[in-house]
């Protein structure tokens, strides 16, 4: 299957899941289409997430900035963890927001939102970050093999690749997604070398350990990056110049 065909398959899957979520009325504002869909039960899913031994052991968590993972981000801060939230679209060289749960416990609800994080967090460069113990990502669709489809921008994959490139994460760093059960599909999801698989799927009904059928990306795969993404993401240019030096 060509890359173009894989992209077409993934987009069809996204649209099918978005339609199903809207039809079943399980989405919350601002709706499903074109995004990591906010779903009814995200808080309950976060509660199950917090039961994972991997979560309880983690001192540092990297999380996506999307709405359905906000309850989990709040739990991280309430647990006193150090939380790193990606700046949307990695549009700054200091592309992560550092939020210290030991300081922000009492303001965890506000600090776990995008607006709040930018107000009370500190923008940091990936080179300033410690090792990450736990990676939380959003998804549009997942299967029990661990394959995942995001909203199509490739930013979660890129965030992990940057962290792997700088030895902040490893193959064994747990990657977990929280989703509505409708988002778990039986389809074979084609995975490209830069696609990040998940180790656990957490829903409002419980935790599913995946088959872990796919290896995690080993770092930034420059040959898979298009020029537009390279031009739009400052940290990629920094990393490339560092490599060239």
pLDDT in tens, 161-204: 999 999 999 999 999 999 999 999 999 999 999 999 999 999 99
Residue pLDDT, tens place only, 129-143: 999 999 999 999 999
The CATH superfamily assigned to 3-244 is: NagB/RpiA/CoA transferase-like (3.40.50.10420)
Buried b (16+ CB within 10 A) or exposed e, 91-118: eebbbbbbbbbeebeeebeebbbbebbe
Q: What is the DSSP letter of 27?
A: B
Nearest alpha-carbon partner for 123 in 157, 89, 99, 158? 99
Domain residue limits, the chain: 3-244
Residue 228 confidence class, pLDDT cut points 50, 70, 90: confident
Residue 31 has pLDDT above 90, yes or no: no
Q: Mean pLDDT over residues 29-36, rounded?
A: 91
- Omega before 87 within 30 of 0, i.e. cis: no
Residue 3 confidence class, pLDDT cut points 50, 70, 90: confident
Q: Mean pLDDT over residues 139-158, rounded?
A: 95
Residue 43 has pLDDT above 80, yes or no: yes
Nearest alpha-carbon partner for 34 in 181, 189, 153? 153
């Amino acid at each position: 299957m060509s890359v173009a065909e894989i992209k077409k398959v993934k987009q069809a899957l996204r649209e099918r899941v978005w339609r199903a979520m809207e039809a079943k009325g399980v989405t919350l504002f601002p709706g499903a289409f074109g995004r990591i869909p906010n779903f009814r039960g995200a808080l309950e899913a976060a509660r199950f997430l917090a039961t994972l031994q991997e979560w309880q052991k983690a001192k540092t968590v990297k999380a996506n900035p999307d709405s359905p993972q906000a309850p989990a981000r709040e739990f991280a801060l309430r647990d006193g963890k150090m939380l790193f939230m990606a700046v949307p679209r990695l549009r700054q060289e200091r592309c992560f927001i550092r939020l210290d749960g030991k300081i922000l416990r009492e303001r965890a609800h506000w600090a776990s939102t995008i607006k709040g994080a930018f107000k009370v967090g500190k923008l940091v460069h990936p080179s300033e970050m410690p090792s990450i113990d736990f990676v939380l990502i959003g998804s549009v669709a997942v299967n029990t093999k661990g394959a995942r489809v995001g909203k199509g921008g490739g930013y979660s994959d890129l965030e992990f690749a940057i962290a792997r490139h700088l030895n902040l994460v490893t193959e064994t760093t747990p990657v977990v997604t929280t989703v509505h059960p409708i988002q778990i599909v039986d389809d074979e999801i084609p995975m490209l070398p830069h696609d990040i698989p998940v180790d656990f799927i957490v829903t409002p009904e419980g935790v599913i350990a995946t088959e872990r059928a796919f290896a995690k990306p080993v770092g930034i795969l420059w040959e898979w990056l298009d020029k537009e993404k390279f031009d739009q993401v400052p940290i990629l240019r920094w990393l490339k110049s560092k490599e060239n030096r």
